[in-house]
Amino acid sequence: MTKSMRLTLSTLLAGLAASPALAATGPFISLRNTDFIVLLAFLLFLGILIYFKVPSLLVGMLDKRSEGIKTELEEARALREEAQTLLASYERKQKEVQDQADRIVSSAKEDARLAAEQARADMAKSLDRRMAAAKDQINSAEAAAVKEVRDQAVTIAVAAARDVIAKQMTAAQGNKLIDDGIAQVDAKLH
């Protein structure tokens, strides 16, 4: 027995079992009995439905609708799984990008720290060079001042000695000193 036949038979039995004709008085099978006419019309209607295979069409439509719903559910599941895969992929990529950004920031901080240390070291070297140059200039200026003071002292001493010698020395003593100097030079040259 097919589904459509079972459905028709169940409907017919349910219609007969619940028939108000069983509660009526008088002959049931008569064209004057409206209950009988309604029953005949109902059975004729069911017969037409069965003849035109409406139950099998309805079952086919329901099966087709069921298959469509199953297909849509499978597509929805596939789309959901794909969306979850994409979400996991984007979350991984976001984590990778965040890790890379963190590495870039830490690298930049380290580079900045190293550059600051290098700048401090360069500044200290530059300061040391400037201090050394300043000390050299001070020492040079001091040496020049000492030399200038010595030269001045020698010039003053020579001038004072000349004056002293000129006042105390006579012409004969001067001539004798010149002759002695010439003799010493002559002795050293030969």
* Tens of pLDDT, residues 127-145: 989 998 888 999 888 888 8
Tell me the residue range of the domain where 39 lies: 1-52
For residue 35, the SS3 value is: helix
90 in a domain, yes or no? no
| Orientation of helix 54-168 relative to helix 34-51, angle to 10° | 60
Q: How far apart are CA 190 and CA 181, in angstroms?
A: 14
The pLDDT of 102-128, averaged and rounded, is 93
Q: Has residue 113 been placed in a domain?
A: no
Which positions ≥6 away from 150 have C-beta within 8 Å? none
Q: How many domains does the chain have?
A: 1
Please state, as a whole number, how many other Cβ atoms lie within 10 Å of the Cβ of residue 145.
Answer: 10
Model confidence at 177, in pLDDT bands (50, 70, 90)?
A: confident
The Cα–Cα gap between 37 and 163 comes to 175
**Alpha-carbon gap, residue 146 to 29, rounded angstroms:** 158
On whether residue 93 sits in a domain, the answer given is no
Q: Is residue 170 part of a domain?
A: no
pLDDT at 175: 81
Residue with tokens 């069921």: 66
Among 1-5, 64-68, 81-85, 174-178, the range scoring the smallest mean pLDDT is 1-5
Q: Classify residue 88: in a domain, yes or no.
A: no
pLDDT for 24 beyond 60: no
Per the structure block, which two tokens stand in for 86? 């994409």
pLDDT tens digits, 142-175: 888 888 887 887 788 777 777 777 777 677 777 8
